[in-house]
Structure 1
């Protein structure tokens, strides 16, 4: 799989740009702020419908323009497919696949698959749990695009359940610490109605949440061996990288999952319902959902120590890079085809040894896109086409 051509209109700093590509190594060289990252960001957006730099689409549209257009020609097994995205901040985005409109933009997912590593990915090790959850879920979608729908359904259910907890909080708090027993007076109608509605949302959350949790656990089980190997190669065997899943389920189930167990969906569904019952009083008190995949985390470890707080800067970089390279190898194994590997301003952050080891690891990838401020940042062994990027112009260099 590779991208043969990229064109953008009113995307970031570009009024318009055409970017021809070919398999192998492609390096974009230019000082910071010249627009090289914008181009690889556009390719990443074609694959994931999201940016690795910002959470919303508004910054992606050139100042003064109403919309941005990204088009990419993707080649896989000798067949070309045109993917076109229309970004409309404040309105629904639109997409075309092979020049034909699709009902929803997420229908283009899977046409292009990328693995992108950038300085922002240091947050996988040092940042909040949301960064690690996003890594897992993005990889789920790259592996099987149907998980984009499950992910969207879960987010919708979670928003509505939180809205109920917030809006009905005064009613739900009434007698929240009292459980009716046989012979007790029935709760007032308003609270009984709110609790019934909450039970319905509990069932919805458990149904979709158990599917998402099961998929994450299976993914993590499959990813683990690739991570250990990738980290070992990047760091020259300095330490053992490991990863486990920290669940918000009840203690016994959370311990099983942390040890690597992958319960079936039905068991996870029942356990999530039981956990929601256990934390109900606290949820009512705080007005927010306290159990489910949105509260989970990945625990990254080096040897016997957690990476967060103990890993050096170099070790943290190696771990984050190892996660992305593991994702690449897993997708390569699953698909029987190489995703596009994007390394955005990465080599400048690595010491000489790590640079050379990374270069050796990616030498056989079908297509690698690299951005760098200066040529000296990129190992000489990575030979391919080079483009100079300056003030939004992209010029091939001999």
Structure 2
């Protein structure tokens, strides 16, 4: 998969842009604030239907404009795919794939596979469990479109159950709570199984990547459940265990008016030699773990997907020497790569150089 051309209108700082990148490595060189990262963000938006920075759509629209437009044409194994997104300041975005509205938006995650490396990837290593839950769920969505539907069903069930718990009188209605408990158990079991599958399949790639980028020790995922799922493998047994846990926690849930058990409260953890990296690893070790995570994710998407993903590297090489940079790139299958940097000499890789300056991208 590679991007043939990209067009932007009123997206972030870009009033207008037409960019035809190289099918191989593209290095975007420019001072901070020139819009390098915004180009990567636009490419990512076409594949993720959202900002990889996690910002709301309205923040992507240039000041003074009512909407931003992002268009791109991709050449993949299934032929050419053109994606167009119109993003308003207020209201819902419009997405067209080859001129038509897609039946299921989640299919874009596998139609246009994109993996981004960002400076704030360190958050996955050093911040709270919610960031790591999102990491596993996001990677599952890129591998299996059904994971998006299961996550959506689960999130909706949690919201509805919490709304019920907050209503005077109705929140203690056992019949209604039983209905939502059943829905939670079904969707929540699917979410957990997707997370387990990601962690298991990622492990070998994670170990190799960590070793290659200079890590020392054994890096693996740990997972602490809030509902007794540890060690239970069968889907029906997991669902029964979740239903039982919801029943046990019901009195507490009614008192605090929120659902206290389930995958949304589970605690995935990255362990280095059996110790949580967010507490025990040094800053340098945490950065190495974060880089290994993204390399592992890229290789896993490439392994299980239909086509090699587009790789977006935002200011990643500034902290790598030439040897480590070469070893990182050796782990990557041949595909299209976009790299941003403020200093050209910080990116010790071959590829097409592009100058990003004064609202223009030029070779």
Q: TM-score, normalised by structure 1?
A: 0.86
1:238 aligned onto 2:205: no
Give the Cα–Cα distance (whole angstroms) in 1 for the partners of residues 221 and 187 of structure 2.
24
Q: 1:208 aligns with which of 183, 187, 196?
A: 187
Kept in 2, the 8 Å contact 1:275–1:291? The answer is yes
Q: 1:245 to 1:304 in 2, by over 3 A?
A: closer
Q: Provide, for residues 104-134 of structure 1, a one-character-per-residue CA deviation record: whole Å limited to 9, x for no partner.
A: 5434332210111101110010112121111
Kept in 1, the 8 Å contact 2:67–2:87? The answer is yes
Following TM superposition, by how much is the alpha carbon of 1:22 offset from its aligned partner in structure 2, in angstroms? 2.4
1:6 match: 6
Kept in 2, the 8 Å contact 1:245–1:299? The answer is yes
Give the Cα–Cα distance (whole angstroms) in 1 for the partners of residues 9 and 184 of structure 2.
40
Q: 1:369 to 1:88 in 2, by over 3 A?
A: same
2:346 match: 377
Give the Cα–Cα distance (whole angstroms) in 2 for the partners of residues 145 and 89 of structure 1.
28
Q: Provide, for residues 292-346 of structure 1, a one-character-per-residue CA deviation record: whole Å limited to 9, x for no partner.
A: 1111222111113211121122211111111111111111111253111111111
Q: 1:352 to 1:384 in 2, by over 3 A?
A: closer
2:151 match: 151
Q: 2:242 aligns with which of 272, 275, 283?
A: 272
2:176 match: 197
How many residues are paired up?
363
Give the Cα–Cα distance (whole angstroms) in 2 for the partners of residues 105 and 220 of structure 1.
25
Aligned to 1:130, the other structure's residue is in SS state helix
Query: How do 1:322-341 residues align onto structure 2 when only pairs under 5 Å count?
Result: 322-341=292-311
Give the Cα–Cα distance (whole angstroms) in 1 for the partners of residues 102 and 48 of structure 2.
16
Give the Cα–Cα distance (whole angstroms) in 2 for the partners of residues 60 and 191 of structure 1.
39
1:300 match: 270
2:313 match: 343
Q: TM-score, normalised by structure 2?
A: 0.94
Following TM superposition, by how much is the alpha carbon of 1:2 offset from its aligned partner in structure 2, in angstroms? 1.0
1:365 match: 334
Following TM superposition, by how much is the alpha carbon of 1:227 offset from its aligned partner in structure 2, in angstroms? 0.7
Q: 1:249 aligns with which of 227, 242, 259?
A: 227
Give the Cα–Cα distance (whole angstroms) in 1 for the partners of residues 326 and 126 of structure 2.
25
Give the Cα–Cα distance (whole angstroms) in 2 for the partners of residues 80 and 12 of structure 1.
27
Residue segments in structure 2 that go unaligned for 5+ positions in a row: none
Kept in 2, the 8 Å contact 1:341–1:365? The answer is no
Give the Cα–Cα distance (whole angstroms) in 1 for the partners of residues 90 and 167 of structure 2.
26
Kept in 1, the 8 Å contact 2:48–2:108? The answer is no
Q: Provide, for residues 240-271 of structure 1, a one-character-per-residue CA deviation record: whole Å limited to 9, x for no partner.
A: 21112222212xx33x2xxxx6x122111111
